[in-house]
Structures are given as structure tokens and as C-alpha cells.
Amino acid sequence: MSKQILILPGDGIGPEIVDEAVKILACLRDDYGLDIDMHEALVGGAAIDATGGPLPEATLELAREADAILLGAVGGPKWEPLPYAVRPERGLLGLRGGLGLFANLRPAILYPQLAAASSLRPEIVAGLDIVIVRELTGDIYFGKPRGVHINEDGQRVGVNTMVYTEAEIRRICRVAFDIARKRNKSLCSVDKANVLESTELWREVATEVGAEYPDVALSHMYVDNCAMQLVRNPKQFDVIVTGNIFGDILSDEASMLTGSIGMLPSASLDEHGKGMYEPIHGSAPDIAGKGVANPLATILSVAMMLRYSFGDEDNARRIEQAVTRVLDRGLRTADIMSAGMRQVGTSEMGDAVLAALGQE
């Protein structure tokens, strides 16, 4: 039976970049035997405008039925005045929580062609290849109590709760150890165990899981040190595992090592390998509608979908090689532009990848 893919363009540059990724999927379907059906639905601000809420029941239902989901980005200034509970971001968090997508894989790879676009010196980032494994359905993002209330002195108090069960920690650590085992057998668990009890537990459980993986070297690092080490000597890392909020912050930082946040894809997986795939960047309202956004992170997210949800390594590689070829030829969107390269817009970049799919 055909695999069902749900397409959620979302807001800002979301629809533009998703269009390019859909072109690639359609080409793989028509010419390379990828057996898929694509459906589209609303999420985020687009859903708020059309239905009043960021995650319509119909979208959640389609997402539950789908074999994989491709998401652009959500959010924008238009919806910022709305209460938290109905903002576009809640649509994304509702999908992650509602579908149990607890394992977020965020690879940060430096394409050698883009070394000049990194804000760090080329010798510090050359050959960089890190995977951040971020827990995605727990922590302060979902912990209760949360909210703003008035205390006995009449003061407004904002509350969020950082909380992890050992089962949540164990399952994300297993995902990270499995990935580390297939790579360089080195895993760094990031916490703030010197201050926060919930991450003291994180460290304990990570160490317990480590006993099941004697072949993987486990190290621990405080998150503030990790943020510093990522810019000081990023190549000391191979696989990093961490909680939701630390992973959010560290993955943005890691992305810039690679030259642009516009290059990095991600996968968010449940227990059974079903996944939602999205670029790690946001909806970039400042450049939305201008046709200048970089579609490569979204296109590379499709490659992750084919690899992790469909086990189609051939077509995943086909996409990744096409991206490499296009970069080799000197095509660059504005965010990765450097001297001597040819600047192109969103759809020109997408078309170039499309054309490169069939080249050997």
C-alpha cells in the first residue's frame, strides 16, 4: 500500500520551502518508484485564520493516520498577541505531544562547500558532523503546573515546571545510544545536574542506560559548558543527548556552526519510527513571500523521512547527493552566499536540486 504523507506548510516561509520539497517528492514518486500519496492540511497561524485554532481536529486526525508528516514552519508576528494556549506554536507542540514524537534528531553537518559561510574559522568546523538527540515531549515545555497567576501579595507570578520521569529519560537515552553505536561510539549527555534535580536524575538514568551499551563511551557535560564547547571545539562531539529545552537552544547554536540554520533538517520520531520531519529553523516572517528562503533544510528533511520512516536509503541518498551537487556548482541562497558564488532564490534552488536528482 502507498505510504501516506501529510504535508503541513504552516506559516511565513513554510509554504514556499515546502513547495520545493513537494516537487522533490513528486519527482521521486513519478520517476524513482517512491510509492506515496500526499495530503495537505492546516497548522499554526494558517489554521488559526481558517478555523480559530492552531491544530484543528481534522489535521490531528490526518496526522494520526499518516505514515509520515512534512512540516514547514509555524508562527509570526500576526499571532503573537494571542494567548499562549492558542498560538501557532501550540499547533506544533500539540502534534509532537499528541503523536508521541519524543525523539528529535537534529544532525549538524558542515558541507565543505559552505565552510566560508560559518561564523567560525574553517579549521574549527571543517568536517563537523554532530547529531543532537533532543527529548521532545517532556521537560519544561509540557510540565505542570504552568501559567501566570496572582500570588497572595497581588503580584503576577509566571510558572513552568521542569520535570522528567525515569522512563522518559531512559527511552530517549536508548535512542541516542543506538545512534552512537552506529557512528563513532561516543555519546555526551548534557544536563545541569549541579543545580537541577530533574537533570540530576537525567544523569543517573543516562549512566544506568550506559551500562547496557559498554561499547559506547558515555560522557556528561553541564549545559553551560556544552554551549561554550560547541563554539570552542565542536568536533569533540559526535552524538549529544539532552532534554527538550537544552536541546532547543543547543541545536540552534550547533546549526550556526554549519553556516546557516537554513541547512539543517530534523526528524521527530515516535516509538515505532513514525515521524514528523521539518527544518529546524522557524517561519522567518521577515523574508516570507519574497522567494529568497533556503529550501534545503526542508528538502533534506525529506531525505530523513525516506531513511527513517520508509527505510528507503537509495532515495534518501539520491536527495542528499543532489544537494551536494548543487552546492558544488556554486548555487547559494542568500543565507549561505559567499564571494564568487551564484545567488539564487527559493524555487531556483529547488529546481536545481530536482534537476540534479537524476545526474550521476
Residues carrying an active site annotation: 141, 192, 224, 248, 252
> Which x/- pattern over 210-249 shows residues binding Mg ion (rule: CB under 5 A)?
--------------------------------------x-
Check binding of 101 to ligand IPM (CB under 6 A): no
Check binding of 335 to Mg ion (CB under 5 A): no
238 binds, options Mg ion, ligand IPM, none, Cβ within 5 to 8 A by partner type: none
Q: How many residues does the chain have?
A: 360
Map the footprint of ligand IPM across residues 248-267, applying CB under 6 A. Answer: 248
Q: State the minimum distance, in angstroms, from the CB of residue 250 to ligand IPM.
A: 10
Strand partners, 191: 222
Nearest to 104 by CA among 302, 269, 246: 269
Q: State the minimum distance, in angstroms, from the CB of residue 249 to Mg ion.
A: 7
- Alpha carbons within 13 A on the beta-carbon side of 189: 26
89 binds, options ligand IPM, Mg ion, none, Cβ within 5 to 8 A by partner type: ligand IPM
Nearest to 54 by CA among 41, 44, 62, 64: 44
Cα torsion angle, 305, 311, 315, 320, sign: positive
Residue identified by cell 564547547 is 229
Q: Residue 29 or 96: which CB sits closer to ligand IPM? A: 96
Cα–Cα distance list, 354 to 73, 297, 301, 343 (Å): 22, 15, 15, 17
Check binding of 92 to ligand IPM (CB under 6 A): yes
CA distance 300 to 247: 20
Check binding of 168 to Mg ion (CB under 5 A): no
> Which x/- pattern over 68-87 shows residues binding ligand IPM (rule: CB under 6 A)?
-------x------------
Q: Which amino acid is at 147?
A: G
CA distance 302 to 2: 16
Map the footprint of ligand IPM across residues 271-300, applying CB under 6 A. Answer: 280, 282
Check binding of 320 to ligand IPM (CB under 6 A): no
Residues found near Mg ion in the complex (CB under 5 A) = 248
Residues found near ligand IPM in the complex (CB under 6 A) = 75, 89, 92, 248, 280, 282
